[in-house]
Amino acid sequence: MDYQFACAGMEQEEGAGDNTGVTVMAKPGTDMTEPTGFLQKGGERLLPLPGLGVVYTKIWPGDPRKAPLLLLHDSLGCVALWRDFPEQLNVATGRTVIAYDRPGFGRSPNRADPLPVSFVEDEATEVAALCDALDLNRVALLGHSVGGGMALASAVALGERCVAVITLAAQAFVEERTRCGIEAAKVAFSDPAQREKLSRYHGDKTDWVLAAWIDTWLGESFSDWNLDQLLSSMRRPWLCLHGDADEYGSVAHPLRLNDQAAVKGELRVLPGGGHFPHRENGSLVVEAVRGFLQEKA
């Protein structure tokens, strides 16, 4: 069976196993304290968000005159699983790039509660708090998969503070293809070897990460979820990239996103593209993002 939907790129990386439990272990030489000028200097740290706890955050610094680019990961993702994509974006755009692990993922603290039906829209609260913590007056957002929906929700919440949005393989509703893909992944992750790959990035949070994805998306209470109402308030410039062979969502998703949005986005369907366009054709995606941000932000 092809595991690219969940396991692509899960080769062991330096420091990837240092994420078990609530304690976040830094790589040698990494400053995980609270340095001044975090946004300007870059690096990684546990960033306090008032009222929301802390989130592991990593920054690749760039031109302070340009709006930073904030990345929102997918349902099994984390900062480490972006691999070199943030650095590629940083070099190509000249912008500061910021990536963070949502609570319960990667090197952020554990969480035990099930995700509410509104978890996609709710992430806008955390994104706004992160922007406040970093004193970002202007920001561009890029989200992959469910992170794409979160980026759109955050753009609505941030208003003019958000200068642009990019979505990669974003879902707009619960499609049968999406459910079938997750059902296949559920079977795949019954294999201890596959769970072990994921645990390199999520440590003892792995069971929660899988349940948060599988149980939520396959649950009856989530079956009618969609972004239609939120999209009616989406008025920021946005770019939508979606592969026509995406195993987690057909081109019905970008079409519906564009149809429902108050401001139509720039839609690009990638021939033969799957669910990880930034891994499958990174140079194309990076150039598309660079050109879009240069024009819009």
HSE-CB of 62 using CA atoms within 13 angstroms: 22
Confidence of residue 21 (pLDDT cuts 50, 70, 90): very low
Domain range summary for the chain, segments of one domain joined by +: 36-296
Q: Is 281 helix (H, G, I), strand (E, B) or coil?
A: coil
- Count other C-beta atoms under 10 Å from residue 216's C-beta: 20
| Calpha distance 151→242 (Å, rounded) | 15
The per-residue pLDDT for 37 is 86
Q: How far is CA 272 from CA 241, 250, 275, in A?
A: 12, 12, 10
pLDDT tens across 248-289, in order? 999 999 999 999 999 999 999 999 999 999 999 999 999 999
The per-residue pLDDT for 36 is 58
pLDDT tens across 144-172, in order? 999 999 999 999 999 999 999 999 999 99
Mean pLDDT for the chain overall:
89
| Calpha distance 138→48 (Å, rounded) | 20
CATH level 2 (architecture), domain 36-296? 3-Layer(aba) Sandwich (3.40)
The per-residue pLDDT for 24 is 39
pLDDT value at 9 more than 50: no
- Count other C-beta atoms under 10 Å from residue 55's C-beta: 24
pLDDT value at 99 more than 90: yes
18-32, 109-123, 204-218, 268-282: range with lowest mean pLDDT: 18-32
> Which residues is 153 bridged to in the sheet?
none
The per-residue pLDDT for 23 is 35
Alpha helices in 12-74 (DSSP H): 38-41
Which whole number is the average pLDDT over 50-57?
93
Query: Can you read off the two tokens belonging to residue 296?
Result: 């819009």
Look at the block and give the residue holding tokens 């829209």. 121
The per-residue pLDDT for 26 is 38
Q: Is 244 helix (H, G, I), strand (E, B) or coil?
A: coil
Q: Which of 139, 97, 109 is nearest to 21 (CA)?
A: 109
| Calpha distance 179→220 (Å, rounded) | 11
